[in-house]
Structure 1
Amino acid sequence: MKLFNQTLSRRTFLRQNSMAGLGVAMAGSSLAKPFEIRNISAEKPAILGGPSAWAEHKWPAWPIWDKENDEKLVLEVLRSGVWSRADMVTRFEKEWAEALGAKRSLAVVNGTNALVTTINQMDIKAGDEVLVPPYTFIATVSSILSNGAMPVFVDIDPETFQIDPAKIEAKITSRTKAIMPVHILGLPADMDRIMAIAKKHNLLVIEDACQAHLAEYDNKKVGTIGDAGCFSFQNSKNLPIGEGGAVVSNNDKFMDKCFSYTNFGNPYGTAVGAVGTGSVMQGTKLRFTEYQAAIGIAQLKRLDAQTTVRNDNANYLKSLIKDIPGITPYKLYDKVTRGAYHLFPFRYNKEGFKGLSREDFLTALRAEGIPCSSGYATLNTQPYLKDTFDSKNYRKSYPKEMLDINAYNERNKCPLNDKLCKEEAVWFTQNMLLGSKTDMQDIASAIEKINKNADKVKTLGKK
């Protein structure tokens, strides 16, 4: 997932960080460092020659690997010679389902293919439309296109960064088959309103929870509220395995079909037929491996505690920066009972920083040792859409007027998302929220001292 610009890629940041101690991401009591007396906000910004608020290499490393406790299971799998899907994958699926309070879980090669599988087995194909927010990673939309369906973009609520339920019904047509809310950044979407709209119009709900491990809406884990949920275990995710994903649902028949689809279409469970008699549906090969499952089981043991630490630090950091002019932290919907905080977002208004551009603000913040990003580019206007619409399959499946990219772009304008992407959004990564309360203070103080010296920083940028 592309999060950072070329100045500091997220993968480079994660790779360069050194381990700050395995205990850093565990219980809150082990995280706290003594509060420092230093008044960072009174100092000159680092970009103007002052001391930096923090040093990048001191942020908690990601992913965390506890050699003493994590490697035993992985080594057992490696030495067994049973590496393709077997008992360990089944164990991981059971533990992941239990962690979510879901009936079933199916592990696959990545979160993208969890989405592809779900859409496919919900029989969403060529000619169908799926409503989706534009503020998400491209995998959300590519999974729709991979099945031959048409993404229809619904603008976001900039306060929450989520799809705006108030704008959904206006986008429903006779072709609409599903709504795909994305719990982007690990913050839950407004599921009550989305589910009510889906019920009213007889639509399916597919939750893209790829960034939202253990996040909760109304005390229910996201990914378990709609008809199905999809998760990612890519290396940056809160449950990192390197690559991996999962489909979750309480519908046994649907999950059996998903299993069959990811295993060459071979019959499974309630699917008709028997193994060895041939495939019962068109399928593909998306099977998880035993050593991936062993890594996932090790990571899952600390996910709940880490999620609690992220929530505590996110709430604390939010309280520290909410009154700084030009800074508007994310808002949670009233029924959100827990966030995942894969990312910590806020909106930046340059007027509160004496006209300092977001790009120059981010540069000044990085000089303080605070890794940060402007987040996503506008997804609904990128060239991949025209490339797909020009393909033979799409030209055979849709009327010409639906594939006119200019008309499509006009129908799918999302002005609030445009502003968020191009002017406002700022992110911190989830591993930063595994630091101490003092670390959160240092982030806030760094922002504050840039704010107090914004005119001088702005002048520097013009030289």
Structure 2
Amino acid sequence: MNRRKFLAGSAAAGAILSTAPRVQAAASDRPAILGGTPVRRNPFPSWPITDEQEEKAILSVLRSGKWNRGMGQVVNRFEESYSKLMGSHRCLATANGTSALLVTLNTMGIGPGDEVIVPPYTFVATINAILQVGALPVFVDSDGETFQIDARKIEAKITSRTVAIMPVHLGGNVADLDTIMAIAKKRNLPVIEDACQAHLAEWKGKKVGTYGKAGCFSFQASKNLNCGEGGAIITDDPEFTERSYAFHNNSRRRATAGYDFSYVAKGLNLRLTEFQAALLLTQMTRLGKQAGTREQNAQYLTQMLTEIPGIAPARMYPGCTRNAYHLYMFRYDPGHFAGLTRAKFMEAMAAEGVPVSGGYAPLNKEPFIVNTMESRGFKRVYSDRQRSQWAEQNQCPVNDKLCSEAVWLTQTQLLGPRSDMAEIATAMRKIRNSASEIAKGS
């Protein structure tokens, strides 16, 4: 849905959309926060979803006695399956999504003195990986309508020290890859896709993570593909995969026979275990169906929420042909809710049985980044001028506003029946109809 459609939906808030029922709360239907009856009393679907497949898979590894990578073959099977699913030539499994990013940065030789282009609206792991290799994150402001990095502003932030662009496909939505890849080609910069929240998301029919030099994924417990902790790097470059393998295997190449104690470069132990790979292989059997359910429910919910003034679901770029919906994100405008604060709106939603969150704070303003730059090592690499000007040069006013407006639903809330979506919309209408009274009560 494009911006024009969203604006038209807001202007015609009373209109009935042909593909979704109008969800209208009665004036006498008091919000639960004021003592009324909650819209929902049943919980949303739990996560993870498991059955006997997971038990059999874990027991099989347990009884084999081959629990770690190198002894067994389950990690190898997962890598082959995930690579095939994603349409990439190679896949390397890692301990988690953070380590996937860390391995990728090290394989690319990124380190002290380098700058990496990143968005300010992302999980902190994106930035931690950059700081861990001694490089500096350079923030490009957000596109407030999509919640993604504003690709039109990337080129202005590129300097002689820029060594990579790291877009984040936040919430399962997709960054503007056409613009990003064009800039990367023009400036001869590699792209690292942080797709940790974007399993099966697509840009023009092709899976995200396959556009850049490497795509990084997370299988942490909240993710749409989950093994508790895990990650993966996909790429079409066999040599890149082998160097990444060595780094994640404490500097050691793949052993062709027995143990190999020769070392090729610096490295760490960031391997996935056979147990985690077994869980991933079973969880993958449900991934496609679950992704379809989320997508259908999200589209249905969006049709209803565009009827509610003050609620603006995150827009997708035209090139996004599939949104993974790890998060369902929208902007909340208190001006259409009688001045009701976002915090009170979220409290009222929770009272209706629909828990929501306010999402990320401005990451570019987190004190730990400046504190890191004032550490002994960073002082030796970056000049006083670079460090003192960093905060000023990394202002992101659009993102500041976005962080004050954003509201999230999680992927599990999109896994239930379509009636759940109608209840989410009903809860918002109830709150809006009594917003003035709720605001006074607060």
Residue of structure 1 equivalent to 2:437? 456
C-alpha distance in 1, partners of 2:142/2:86? 26
Residue of structure 2 equivalent to 1:98? 84
1:195-229 Cα distance to aligned partner (Å, 9 max, x none): 00000000010000000000001111111111100
The 5 Å alignment of 1:332-411 reads 332-404=316-388, 407-411=389-393
1:396-434 Cα distance to aligned partner (Å, 9 max, x none): 111221112xx211100000111111x200000000000
1:442 aligns with 2:428: no
1:258–1:269 Cα change, 3 Å: farther
Number of residue pairs the alignment of both structures matches: 419
1:213 to 174, 190, 199: 199
1:432 aligns with 2:413: yes
SS at match of 2:331: strand
1:289–1:50 Cα change, 3 Å: same
1:48 aligns with 2:34: yes
Residue of structure 2 equivalent to 1:416? 398
1:83 aligns with 2:60: no
Structure 1, unpaired ranges of 5+:
1-34
The 5 Å alignment of 1:217-256 reads 217-256=203-242
The 5 Å alignment of 1:3-18 reads none
The answer on whether the counterparts of 1:40 and 1:53 sit within 8 Å (CA) in structure 2 is no
The answer on whether the counterparts of 2:23 and 2:425 sit within 8 Å (CA) in structure 1 is no
1:81–1:37 Cα change, 3 Å: same
For 1:64, the aligned partner's letter is I
Structure 1 position 101, deviation (Å): 0.6
SS at match of 2:276: helix
The answer on whether the counterparts of 1:179 and 1:206 sit within 8 Å (CA) in structure 2 is yes
Residue of structure 2 equivalent to 1:65? 50
SS at match of 1:157: coil
1:303–1:96 Cα change, 3 Å: same
Structure 2, unpaired ranges of 5+:
1-19
TM-score for the superposition, normalised by structure 2: 0.92
2:312 to 313, 316, 328: 328
Structure 1 position 117, deviation (Å): 0.5
The 5 Å alignment of 1:102-113 reads 102-113=88-99
The 5 Å alignment of 1:101-180 reads 101-180=87-166
C-alpha distance in 2, partners of 1:402/1:269? 44
For 1:337, the aligned partner's letter is T
C-alpha distance in 2, partners of 1:220/1:359? 38
Structure 1 position 70, deviation (Å): 2.5
The answer on whether the counterparts of 2:79 and 2:92 sit within 8 Å (CA) in structure 1 is yes
Work out the percentage of aligned pairs sharing the same amino acid. Answer: 51
1:84–1:452 Cα change, 3 Å: same
SS at match of 1:177: strand
1:204–1:419 Cα change, 3 Å: same
The answer on whether the counterparts of 2:226 and 2:283 sit within 8 Å (CA) in structure 1 is yes
Q: CA RMSD in A?
A: 1.8
TM-score for the superposition, normalised by structure 1: 0.88
1:281 to 243, 262, 265: 265
The answer on whether the counterparts of 2:22 and 2:304 sit within 8 Å (CA) in structure 1 is no
Structure 1 position 375, deviation (Å): 0.3
1:75-106 Cα distance to aligned partner (Å, 9 max, x none): 11011111001300000111111111111111
The answer on whether the counterparts of 2:225 and 2:284 sit within 8 Å (CA) in structure 1 is yes
The answer on whether the counterparts of 1:121 and 1:258 sit within 8 Å (CA) in structure 2 is yes
For 2:400, the aligned partner's letter is D
1:317 aligns with 2:339: no
Structure 1 position 334, deviation (Å): 0.2
Structure 1 position 41, deviation (Å): 5.1
Structure 1 position 267, deviation (Å): 2.4
